């Protein structure tokens, strides 16, 4: 007899996700990540073939390949789109210990605008901070550290590093910049909302740290 807790049918008429399209990516090896941008109009994929591919998504949901980004010397683990307030920017991290930031200068024309090589082992994950904190990127590495890369007004980047885990860092994510309910509460007043920078990491030491 089915367990009521685990096997009961869900109530209501919820919809289920269905596959609508299979994309021929042209990658030649395993695909490790796929990310849509803020508007869902661009798709980025990355692979063990050391490349990143960019696709435009049209109104009918069709994906057209528009660019192939090459600059990494090892498998590319993850890609992340920056908030569109900062332009069309994409970050990538790789087994080659590098973090790259790419920019679309014109439709289909991409350049690498920044490369960070401060890690001593594979960079396994990355995440952009909430837009309220500026153009800030966190990068988690197998060398046990997390790097924080901050873009400055003069178009340079400053870096800082946190020792996060004893056996490598495999994931990183940011908390929202505002406390829950803060925006609703402030709507009645004119005081500027305070922001906070908080991130969480997961490591090979079986720990999660905030």
Beta-bridge partner residues of 100: 92, 115
Mean pLDDT of the 96-118 span: 96
Asked whether the beta carbons of 172 and 200 are under 8 A apart, the reply is yes
- In sequence order, the 6+-apart residues with CB closer than 8 A to the CB of 170 are 124, 125, 140, 142, 202, 203, 204
186 membership: H or E segment, kind and range: helix 182-186
CA distance 176 to 26: 36
pLDDT over 70 percentage in the chain:
81
How far apart CA 142 and CA 162 sit, in angstroms, is 13
d(CA 57, CA 76): 22
Verdict on whether the full-model pTM lies above 0.85: no
DSSP state letter for 132: G
118 vs 159: CA distance, rounded Å: 9
Contact of 102 with 89, CB cutoff 8 Å = yes
Confidence of residue 200 (pLDDT cuts 50, 70, 90): confident
Q: How many whole angstroms separate alpha carbon 128 and alpha carbon 91? A: 9
Average pLDDT, the chain: 85
pLDDT at 16: 56
Question: pLDDT digits over 6-38, tens only?
Answer: 334 444 445 555 656 777 788 888 999 999 999
| Residue among 27, 135, 31, 147 at smallest CA distance from 97 | 147
3-state secondary structure (DSSP) of residue 72: coil
């Amino acid at each position: 007899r089915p367990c009521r807790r685990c096997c009961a049918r869900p109530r209501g008429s919820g919809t289920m996700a269905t596959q609508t399209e299979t994309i021929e990516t042209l990658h030649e090896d395993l695909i490790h990540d796929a990310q849509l941008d803020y508007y869902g109009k661009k798709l980025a994929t990355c692979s063990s073939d050391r490349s990143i591919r960019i696709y435009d998504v049209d109104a009918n949901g069709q994906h057209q390949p528009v660019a192939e980004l090459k600059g990494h010397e090892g498998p590319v683990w993850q890609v992340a789109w920056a908030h569109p307030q900062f332009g069309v920017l994409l970050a990538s991290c790789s087994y080659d210990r590098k973090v790259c930031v790419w920019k679309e200068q014109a439709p289909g024309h991409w350049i690498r605008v920044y490369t960070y090589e401060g890690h001593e082992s594979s960079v396994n994950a990355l995440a952009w901070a909430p837009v309220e904190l500026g153009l800030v990127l966190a990068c988690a590495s197998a060398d046990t550290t997390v790097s924080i890369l901050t873009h400055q007004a003069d178009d340079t980047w400053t870096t800082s590093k946190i020792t996060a885990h004893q056996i490598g860092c495999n994931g990183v994510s940011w908390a929202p910049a505002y406390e829950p309910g803060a925006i609703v509460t402030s709507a009645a007043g004119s005081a500027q909302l305070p922001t906070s920078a908080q991130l969480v990491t997961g490591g090979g030491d079986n720990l999660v740290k905030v």
